[in-house]
Amino acid sequence: MNTPIETATRYCPRHLLSQFLTSNGTKDTWIWCPTTNGKFSTKSVCSLLAPANSQQWAALWSPHIPLKWSVLLWRLILNSIPVDETVKEKGVPLASKCSCCPQPQEESSLHLFFRSDTADQVWSELSHLLHFSNREVSAVTYGVTAFLARSEIIATSGRLVRCTFMAALWEIWCSRNKARFQDQGMTAKHIINRTMLSIRAICISFKFQKVPQPCLAALHQTEHDMEELKSRTPTIVQWITPPSGRLKLNVDGAFMRTSGTAGGGGILRDHEGNMCWAFARAYHDLNSSLAAEAMALNDGLSICCSKGVSEVLVETDSLNLLQLVTKQISSQWDLTCIMHDIAAKSLNLKAEIAHVPRGANRVADCLASSAMSYPRFVIWSPRATCPLLYHLDKGPQ
């Protein structure tokens, strides 16, 4: 086989080769043409995919826009949303049926986001804010990029219009997934309510000034709708101190599937929120986050036993672990032994185990995530310097 230089010598005039070829016996190397130095860089790839003067790309990635919205629209533009039509194009045989129409049709990105009965109702309700007609969209990529590149989208009003458009697409997608996988029906009213709730949160978080009157009117809907929105408003979840004289143990596990590393952590606190002790431990040869959660719970209970704790409240943000401990679901074969240990220690400690949202388990979550960086089992006493500002996690007394 001829080398690249031999091929070039054969077909290219020698007077041209002499200008940029040297014969010094060095090995041929790859060069990356989009950069001046020939070295590959992700920045150059970004420039190729999204030119610097491309307004829609600049509009897509903005600080006030949740990253999940930007990623969704980016995937829409690239036609990589896993709707039925896209999956079938990959060679997967599939009987398609949308979840967004009373009379189901074949599901495509265009149908789901812009042409379905549900989408019609959503965009019709938001048309006075967006000045946008979904029926004019003939292709998803063009429809999304054309909206993002609209020259009239400027200042606060423009940011809110863009956010509303992206939020509506996100809520349509979330609603579709709940309908498909959780058997929850899609309704335009729910999608619109969730959209406006997100816009209200953005206005508050980024302190938007001079909000246009149409947006204000939409955010301040009828009293009935407002009450419904309030009922759906997410609340800030905090760790709550145990009753006076009681102790509370929070535990959590972490597992990185890509590397196979795992860790667990936990913290015991009194009724004033003061740390009694905390621990972090790296685990090896595990194959799931559930196994890491179980190991962390077992370690936390073991420390309680060794330190003479006689009664403890335990919190975990793993609902699956709680269901295993309470025998609501059967234990996996590889967790059978550790679940027996947990049951025995829970009985000795009179432990009451409960499930809490992740927001109420932040310290244990941080300990579990950091555990993989510790070469040994670490236990911090009240006088030791714990790497976490655990007192910031205190909830109402």
In the chain, what are the domain boundaries? 4-42, 59-232, 248-393
In whole angstroms, give the CA distance from residue 117 to residue 84.
17
Confidence of residue 397 (pLDDT cuts 50, 70, 90): very low
CA 341 vs CA 62, 145, 345: distances in Å:
50, 57, 6
Enumerate residues 6+ apart whose C-beta is below 8 A from 34.
44, 45, 47, 48
CA distance 46 to 300: 47
Burial of 304 (0-12, 13-18, 19+ CB in 10 A): buried
Q: What is the CATH number of domain 248-393?
A: 3.30.420.10
What confidence tens digit (pLDDT) does each residue in 185-226 have? 899 999 998 888 888 777 766 565 555 555 655 555 533 444
pLDDT of the residue at 33 = 79
Query: Rounded mean pLDDT of 133-143?
Result: 90
Residue position matching structure tokens 């049926």:
97
Look at residue 165 and tell me whether its pLDDT is greater than 60: yes
3-state SS, the chain, equals CCCHHHHHHHHCCHHHHHHHCCCCCCCCCCCCCCCCCCCCCHHHHHHHHCCCCCHHHHHHCCCCCCHHHHHHHHHHHCCCCCCHHHHHHCCCCCCCCCCCCCCCCCCCHHHHHHHCHHHHHHHHHHHHHHCCCHHHCCCHHHHHHHHHCCCCCCHHHHHHHHHHHHHHHHHHHHHHHHHHHCCCCCCHHHHHHHHHHHHHHHHHHCCCCCCCHHHHHHHCCCHHHHHHHHHHCCCCCCCCCCCCCCCEEEEEEEEECCCCEEEEEEEEECCCCCEEEEEEEEECCCCCHHHHHHHHHHHHHHHHHHCCCCCCEEEECCHHHHHHHCCCCCCCHHHHHHHHHHHHHHHHHCCEEEECCHHHCHHHHHHHHHHCCCCCCEEECCCCCCCCCHHHHCCCC
What's residue 205's pLDDT?
64
pLDDT tier, 24 (very low <50, low <70, confident <90, very high otherwise): low
Token pair in block for residue 169: 């697409």
Give 325-343 pLDDT, tens digit per residue.
988 877 777 788 899 999 9
Are 132 and 123 in contact, with CB atoms under 8 Å apart?
yes
Task: Tell me the pLDDT of the chain averaged across its residues.
Answer: 81
User: Which of residues 198 and 122 earns the better pLDDT score?
Assistant: 122
pLDDT given at position 160: 80
Is 261:373 a contact under the CB 8 Å cutoff?
Answer: no
pLDDT greater at residue 20 or residue 383: 383
pLDDT band with cut points at 50, 70 and 90 for residue 176: very high
pLDDT band (50, 70, 90) for residue 279: very high
What percent of the chain lies above the pLDDT cut of 90? 37
Contact 85, 97 (CB under 8 A): no
Q: What size, in residues, is the chain?
A: 397
Strand 275-283 and strand 378-380: the pairing is: antiparallel
The pLDDT score that the predictor gives to residue 384 is 65
**For the segment 39-98, what is each residue's pLDDT rounded down to a tens digit?**
888 777 766 765 544 556 677 777 778 889 989 999 999 899 999 999 999 888 888 999
pLDDT band of residue 388 (cuts 50, 70, 90) is low
State the sign of the Cα–Cα–Cα–Cα dihedral 154, 160, 164, 170: positive
pLDDT at position 227 over 60: no
Q: How far is CA 31 from CA 34, 123, 255, in A?
A: 9, 48, 38
The pTM assigned to this predicted structure is 0.47
Residue 16 pLDDT grade (very low, low, confident, very high; cuts 50, 70, 90): low
Adjacent-strand bridge partners of 278? 267, 380
Show the tokens assigned to 46: 């970004």
Q: Does position 371 have pLDDT exceeding 70, yes or no?
A: yes
What is the residue type of 49?
Answer: L
Say how far residue 357 (Cα) sits from the centre of its chain.
15
